[in-house]
Structure 1
């Protein structure tokens, strides 16, 4: 069974999946969503759960630098609760402070154009979120 890592935004959700042994995270895709209309990409998440035999989720939890929870953190909590309700699988909220910035820095260092970075940044952040979680589990 595999773990799915998610970087949840207001317009997209970056998706990463662990390998079967739970050692490495691979980016899968970026799902378009729309918080304002209640489209959270649940049908696509359901398809990915079946395809990859997902046994749980790690959802990025964007805390503020002072450890408080802002509007995006609340949105991630709500998304985590929606996943629990829809799929009855365990969900872990994972502190994702600075992962998007780290993902962007990695892509810039790899000389990826701004346009291409925009297309993969959420998937890259999902990889970093999931890999951080996996690394802690495998110590």
Structure 2
């Protein structure tokens, strides 16, 4: 990355049941939770799943310049079955939101960290399940933003 481009970025945590979405400020300093979408696993193969359509609408609404999607990597640094599913999801997303770029970011431990932070704030049980995907998306996007700033010096 030669130069930082100003603009809102969306962070995405793709789960089996839900998709957490976060957004950054235009300067790329802070990621904040945005929304949790229900995964649409019943869409016909030739149809755009409703969660991807909703995500595309968020890209347009927030005028996102990039989407950062968490890629599940195990602790040994390998990609397992969950990573393959995320890569398939990203393939569909790219078809819908092009030319907005989609970047994969290591999401190792993002949900664990998000759950721990929510628990520290007293958010547990059903309330935590409702927002943990957004919180994981925040972790993914914030880690990526911080890494870009370090890389830029």
TM-score by length of structure 2 reads: 0.85
Aligned to 1:117: 128
Find 1:10's aligned residue among 10, 16, 20: 16
Asked if 1:73 is matched to 2:79, the reply is no
Give the distance between the partners of 1:50 and 1:67, measured in 2 at CA.
Answer: 33
Give the distance between the partners of 1:123 and 1:4, measured in 2 at CA.
Answer: 11
- Say if 1:5 and 1:126, in contact at 8 Å, map to a contact too: yes
Equivalences, count: 138
Q: Which has the higher strand share?
A: 1
Give the distance between the partners of 2:91 and 2:56, measured in 1 at CA.
Answer: 15
Q: Runs of 4+ in structure 1 displaced over 6 angstroms?
A: none
Root mean square deviation of aligned Cα: 1.2
Give the distance between the partners of 2:8 and 2:35, measured in 1 at CA.
Answer: 16
- 1:40 is displaced (CA, Å) by 5.3
Give the distance between the partners of 1:130 and 1:138, measured in 2 at CA.
Answer: 12
Give the distance between the partners of 2:139 and 2:92, measured in 1 at CA.
Answer: 22
Give the distance between the partners of 2:130 and 2:10, measured in 1 at CA.
Answer: 20
Task: Show structure 1 runs of 5+ residues with no match.
Answer: none
Q: 1:97 to 1:27 in 2, by over 3 A?
A: same
TM-score by length of structure 1 reads: 0.94
Task: Show structure 2 runs of 5+ residues with no match.
Answer: 1-6, 44-48
Give the distance between the partners of 2:106 and 2:58, measured in 1 at CA.
Answer: 23
Give the distance between the partners of 2:147 and 2:50, measured in 1 at CA.
Answer: 28
Greater Rg over alpha carbons, structure: 2
